[in-house]
Amino acid sequence: MQKGVWILKVLSQQLIKQTNLKQIYTLVADNEGISRTNIASLTRLSKTTVSTLVEELLDAGFLLDAGAAQTRRQGRKPNSLRVNDEGNVVAVVNWLRSKLQIASVGLGGTVKNFREKMFDPGQDYAAQIADGYRALCAALCADEHKPRVLALCIIVPGIIDPCQKRVFSSVLPVQAGEWVVRRLRAAIPNVPMAMFNDTACYAYAEMSKGFLDDESSIFVNLSGGVGAVMFSGGKMLRGANGMTTQFGHFSVVRDGALCRCGNRGCLERRIGESVLAERAREFMTAGEIEAFGAFTYQTVGRAADEGQPQVCRMADSMAGDLAFALSNFITLYNVRKCVIGGEARLLGNYFFERLQEHITACSFREFVSSCELQYSRLPKHAQFAGAAWYFIDVHYRFEENLTGKLFLR
């Protein structure tokens, strides 16, 4: 056999094995308690192949044998399997404007060791993120399960350019053209590192829980900024780096306030949580603004639900801005489900009701009548699980050494 043909055959066999390992792992992750027999039936692999690959995943510590399964079958009960949530974690850093949120996420999506660290503007951000990661690793070393860290995922409210290895964000205190990724890689050199867009992480968690299983759907993230991710056929379009769409920079007021992106009247400058105090000036006097206190989604949502007139007008205007942008999305792509997530649920019932009314009034009726609109039902910090799940599902290779690898898609 020629050397080139032999190499291709070996590589093909390795690829097939890696694919089968990932398929088996995914089945166990999605179906806790599944047996080897059921895996063989679902994958159409031989029982011998399944048994061999399961043993490899057990020996490597990715799966656990949970003992005899509960079935109605007579005779010997098959053993059930589950992922080793306690023994393997992904470290996740959520990079926000003024603070870091840091946690470990088990393979089953359990978020642990959550902590917050305020940013010191006088210190380098890469060094602060590295310090937060190392502190988390120290806490994991003290854990009774001594979990291994499979990777570090950094969630950012912005676009990650995988070619230039740069980050553009209208929320984070980084300059356009700054070598953010390189600085982070230099500060944390060896661990497999991924950087994902925040909206994509929320959206992937939503999809993984089965809440975005329609043929065409959109997840909208309302937080300090505004973002959106589209799904088609149950798959997130174009990865998790935020390069698919910049929904927050869709102009809803052509001559509106100038945004950091260079555009005017961006949706993010109209309804992002960070601009609520600025928007309040359109509806409230200086005295009313001072008396109101901090403007957050929670305080605005609560006041609107209580019927405070000025805040109701503000919430209605915000709902109208979001509806205008969403109606264009629905008209262009015939979206069947739209989930509003992030911190949006804090805006309350009044905002949501006004949003529904505005969308009905300004969208193509035939499409909007079949589009389901809802708030996200995910728990707090779901973006952490979304980042970890996306990394494992898309990037992780069970038999490959990923030391020092960088993932930006």
The H-assigned helical ranges of 240-347 are: 268-271, 276-280, 286-292, 297-305, 309-333
Whether 408 is covered by a domain: the verdict is no
Residue 6: predicted pLDDT = 46
On whether both 150 and 40 belong to a single domain, the answer is no
Per-residue pLDDT tens over the stretch 103-122: 999 999 999 999 999 988 88
Rg of the chain taking only CA atoms, in angstroms: 24
The low-confidence residues of the chain, meaning pLDDT below 70, are 1-11, 68-77, 213-214
Per-residue pLDDT tens over the stretch 52-109: 999 999 999 999 998 766 555 554 568 899 999 999 999 999 999 899 999 999 999 9
Domain count within the chain: 3
- β-partners of residue 234 are none
Q: What percent of the chain has pLDDT above 70?
A: 94
Per-residue pLDDT tens over the stretch 237-269: 878 888 777 899 999 998 999 998 889 999 999
Q: Is the pTM of this model over 0.85?
A: yes
On whether both 310 and 327 belong to a single domain, the answer is yes
On whether both 333 and 247 belong to a single domain, the answer is yes
Residue 7: predicted pLDDT = 53
Strands of the sheet containing 88-95, edge to edge, are 111-118, 99-106, 88-95, 148-156, 193-197, 406-407
Domain final residue, candidates 83, 114, 139: 83
On whether both 101 and 71 belong to a single domain, the answer is no
Residue 14: predicted pLDDT = 86
User: What CA–CA distance (Å, rounded) separates 220 from 212?
Assistant: 12
